[in-house]
């Protein structure tokens, strides 16, 4: 993945990243609150030599002292020092040894002693006991046998005191580490989810599957079931404008061999195929084209229900010569749209739709109308759309955002291609409004084509 890919992942999965960061920060805060507070009392010793009268002796004494200091830091945590301390403050010398840290700044004769304890008063008491015991122990150890004094002197230059604030836990550091760790984990989780997510949600997901043109992106409307013909009930809405953009984009598909009979299908049921087909056909009719909409979904016909038309007779009756197709086509309102309903549901839809009678019917209607739009069933569950794709000039595949995955969409396209079907393009449907960005503003900030202006005039009266 490149940097741009990571940025897209962050933009797409920012909620997941924020949730992981918030969780890690809360865990860090909880761990901080649950941790025992530890206080630190510090003291400092200065180590010197005595009896030096000239510069050479002073230099030798300084070198001797620096070498000795390294040993004294180890001496501070031995039972020789800590046994008397334990007897004075209570506890064991081993436990106190784990609480004491002795360090020596480089090139100095200073020894810094830090004592940590959950009780600040006890930390001070241990420090004071060490400050009393350590100098006398060094004097005893460094005194030659029979000598009255030691050449090494340890002086307390900083006495231990009662600490007022704990040194652990450190809330600021813990929260900062929580934020950093949360960002790393959140980004990792976002990248992993992106790699494992095979769903089709954006146009980028469609582009990963096929090079077929994306004809449009239709926003999701939770009120679709109540107002399926959005281009009629709310023609100035961004969603209605998206259908007009789809109509315009379709006009530029293969201008030299422009498709006039078009089948509309999807991979699965529920992707909004029939609603999109009805709105597209109505939009094309509003632009002045003579359009015939065929309800060829003989499994679950919905078009006539959306348009409020009678469905007693229709396509199946025309295919078995029970009625003339011209007699069963119904005009829709005062538009240039005519609708051919499904008619009675047959037991063999695939055979009926792939018959020579269906081919002849399409040729007949193509000679009478500018466009013939065919609403077909989903491709993966049944073969109806596949057989219709062979009889028409091309297919539009509807991809429901969040409903179909890339493998299913790829299988649909491969199935259509396997029979020589021509895929005109993909329409991404049910796209969340937030994923469309500035789509709504774009719809009214761009110049309108002549067909759109006619739509506006018709609605205005």
The confidence score (pLDDT) of residue 280 equals: 95
| Residue 3, beta-bridge partner list | none
Give the separation between CA 370 and CA 193, rounded to whole angstroms: 46
Beta strands in 281-402 (DSSP E): 291-295, 330-331, 337-340, 371-375, 394-400
The confidence score (pLDDT) of residue 460 equals: 40
Backbone φ and ψ of 337, nearest 5°: -105, 130
Average pLDDT on 50-72 reads 63
Could you read off the pLDDT of 240-268 as tens digits, one per residue? 999 999 999 998 888 778 899 999 999 99
Task: Give the pLDDT band (50/70/90) at residue 446.
Answer: very low
Does residue 145 have a pLDDT over 80? no
Using only C-alpha atoms, what is the Rg of the chain?
A: 42
The confidence score (pLDDT) of residue 62 equals: 60
- Cis peptide upstream of residue 169 (ω within 30 degrees of 0): yes
Task: Give the pLDDT band (50/70/90) at residue 458.
Answer: very low
Does residue 317 have a pLDDT over 50? yes
* Least confident residue range of 6-20, 115-129, 139-153, 432-446: 432-446
pTM of the predicted model as reported, rounded to 2 decimal places: 0.65
Task: Give the pLDDT band (50/70/90) at residue 315.
Answer: very high
Give the separation between CA 169 and CA 255, rounded to whole angstroms: 72
- Numbered ranges of CATH 3.30.70.1130 in the chain: 39-158
Task: Establish how many alpha carbons lie within 13 A of residue 275's alpha carbon, considering only the half-sphere containing its beta carbon.
Answer: 25
The answer to whether 266 and 254 are in contact (CB under 8 A) is no
Could you read off the pLDDT of 32-53 as tens digits, one per residue? 999 999 999 999 999 887 655 5
CATH superfamily of 200-460: P-loop containing nucleotide triphosphate hydrolases (3.40.50.300)
The confidence score (pLDDT) of residue 7 equals: 84
Instruction: Classify domain 39-158 by CATH number.
Output: 3.30.70.1130
- Numbered ranges of CATH 3.40.50.300 in the chain: 200-460
Task: Give the pLDDT band (50/70/90) at residue 316.
Answer: very high
Average pLDDT on 259-279 reads 94
The confidence score (pLDDT) of residue 285 equals: 94
The confidence score (pLDDT) of residue 20 equals: 95
Sign of CA dihedral 427, 431, 436, 442: positive
């Amino acid at each position: 993945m490149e940097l741009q890919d990571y940025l897209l992942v962050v933009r797409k999965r920012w909620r997941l990243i924020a949730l992981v960061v918030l969780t890690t920060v809360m865990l860090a805060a909880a761990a901080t609150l649950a941790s025992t507070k530890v206080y630190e009392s510090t003291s400092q010793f200065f180590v010197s030599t005595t009896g030096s009268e000239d510069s050479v002796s002073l230099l030798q004494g300084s070198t001797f002292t620096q070498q000795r200091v390294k040993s004294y830091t180890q001496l501070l945590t031995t039972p020789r020092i800590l046994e008397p301390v334990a007897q004075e403050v209570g506890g064991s010398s081993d436990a106190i040894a784990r609480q004491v840290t002795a360090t020596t700044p480089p090139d100095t004769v200073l020894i810094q002693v830090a004592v940590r304890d959950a009780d600040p008063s006890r930390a001070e008491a241990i420090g004071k006991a060490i400050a009393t015991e350590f100098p006398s122990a060094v004097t005893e150890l460094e005194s030659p046998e029979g000598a009255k004094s030691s050449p090494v002197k340890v002086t307390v230059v900083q006495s231990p005191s009662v600490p007022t604030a704990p040194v652990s836990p450190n809330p600021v550091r813990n929260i900062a580490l929580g934020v950093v760790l949360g960002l790393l984990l959140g980004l990792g989780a976002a990248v992993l989810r992106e790699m494992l997510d095979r769903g089709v949600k954006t146009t980028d997901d469609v582009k990963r599957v096929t090079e077929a043109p994306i004809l449009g992106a239709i926003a999701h409307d939770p009120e679709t079931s109540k107002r399926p013909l959005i281009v009629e009930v709310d023609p100035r809405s961004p969603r209605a404008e998206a259908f007009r953009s789809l109509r315009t984009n379709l006009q530029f598909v293969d201008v030299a061999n422009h498709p006039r009979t078009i089948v509309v299908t999807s991979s699965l049921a529920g992707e909004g195929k029939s609603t999109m087909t009805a709105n597209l056909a109505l939009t094309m009719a509003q632009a002045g084209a003579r359009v015939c909409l065929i309800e060829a979904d003989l499994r679950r016909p919905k078009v006539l229900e959306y348009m409020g038309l009678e469905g007693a007779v229709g396509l199946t009756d025309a295919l078995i010569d029970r009625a003339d197709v011209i007699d069963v086509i119904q005009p829709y309102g005062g538009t240039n749209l005519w609708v051919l309903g499904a008619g009675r549901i047959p037991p063999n839809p695939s055979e009926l739709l792939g018959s020579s009678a269906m081919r002849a019917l399409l040729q007949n209607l193509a000679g009478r109308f500018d466009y013939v739009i065919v609403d077909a069933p989903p491709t993966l569950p049944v073969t109806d759309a596949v057989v219709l794709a062979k009889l028409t000039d091309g297919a539009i595949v509807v991809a429901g955002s969040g409903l179909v995955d890339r493998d299913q969409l790829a299988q649909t396209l491969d199935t259509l291609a396997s029979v020589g079907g021509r895929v005109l393009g993909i329409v991404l449907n049910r796209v969340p409004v937030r994923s469309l960005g500035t789509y709504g503003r774009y719809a009214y900030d761009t110049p309108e084509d002549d067909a759109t202006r006619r739509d506006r005039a018709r609605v205005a009266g």
